[in-house]
Structure 1
């Protein structure tokens, strides 16, 4: 099952609030999500997210998350993201997150933090600009979507070499 991008973003924010991930700026969050989604595609042949990455100037971006967290600029994200929905005639803020029992997804998130969490947002952005990245190989910087097949193909060898669990 693919999660909303917000649910997985909130999982990374949770880890930051727990002190397990430092300096979680909006740019860093976007790139960690990029790697988590790409690795899941490469290792399990299934999307982690129900959203898409667009080709933006500073690398792959999920536009809806950009707008949710842009107020933080280059600073750390301090609170969970969410959506306003109407329930029983009242507006309620929902803050989705990966389910506590989904051990495989939490293990992936923790492995992504272990491998990429020490890098800054700018460093991760630079990494996504490498000539063999899906961002570089799928077209112009025009806001267009990066196909999941390319995300998987471009990280498959890296993900396998980092010993990420392939269990569901």
Structure 2
């Protein structure tokens, strides 16, 4: 049996910069009474955002790759930017180029859902969670450097192995139980639609 979900062409690509997504999370954190986003926690938020977006829409949220590092998945560009910061990131740097690159409303809702799901996890808890997941497990090798985690692995793992209750979905994606579509009576639906539009 084929999986119709894999054949759906969903076009949600906004080609966001990783900085725009980073700034969204840092802004959310700055509004908390006790901000706690460290560079490590930020990396894991980016991982969960990219992986869930890929699984939900079949598109990347941002264009940068995720790479398998010792402490979990990393966006190298973001890693370089914050690698010498060990304290909590209380405020973000305001760059005019990034400031004008607001995230679209649908992405804002999606990122807010990611934030709500993971904001209360510590950096260490998120690190440990990523270390239990196949995308990191299958791509990290001690001593290796900058191994890219393929989109297909992220998409497949989050789509097929992570329970729906543990995922975050784009607001335009509807979940239906397996076999539901096949169980629908097309004639009954057509009759109901005729009656509705009559």
Structure-2-length-normalised TM-score = 0.70
CA shift for structure 1 position 111: 0.9
| Other-structure match for 1:150 | 153
Q: 3-state SS of the aligned residue for 2:83?
A: helix
1:24 aligned residue (37, 41, 44): 37
Q: 3-state SS of the aligned residue for 2:62?
A: coil
1:35 aligned residue (48, 53, 57): 48
Separation of aligned partners in 2, 1:160 and 1:108: 15
Q: 3-state SS of the aligned residue for 1:71?
A: coil
Report the RMSD for the aligned CA atoms in angstroms: 2.4
| 1:114-153 alignment runs, 5 A limit | 114-130=116-132, 132-141=133-142, 142=144, 143-153=146-156
CA shift for structure 1 position 140: 2.0
Pair 1:80 & 2:92 matched: yes
Separation of aligned partners in 2, 1:167 and 1:129: 30
The count of aligned residue pairs is: 156
User: Which is richer in strand?
Assistant: 1
Residues 1:138 and 1:166: Cα distance change in structure 2 (over 3 Å)? farther
Residues 1:163 and 1:71: Cα distance change in structure 2 (over 3 Å)? closer
For CA contacts below 8 A with separation 6 or more, give which structure has more relative contact order: 1
Cα shift readout 1:81-132 (whole Å, capped 9, x = no counterpart): 477xxxxxxxxx64357525x12111111111111111111110111111x4
Unaligned segments of structure 1, at least 5 residues: 84-92
| Other-structure match for 1:95 | 98
Native 8 Å contact 2:49 2:111 kept in 1 = yes
Native 8 Å contact 2:113 2:168 kept in 1 = no
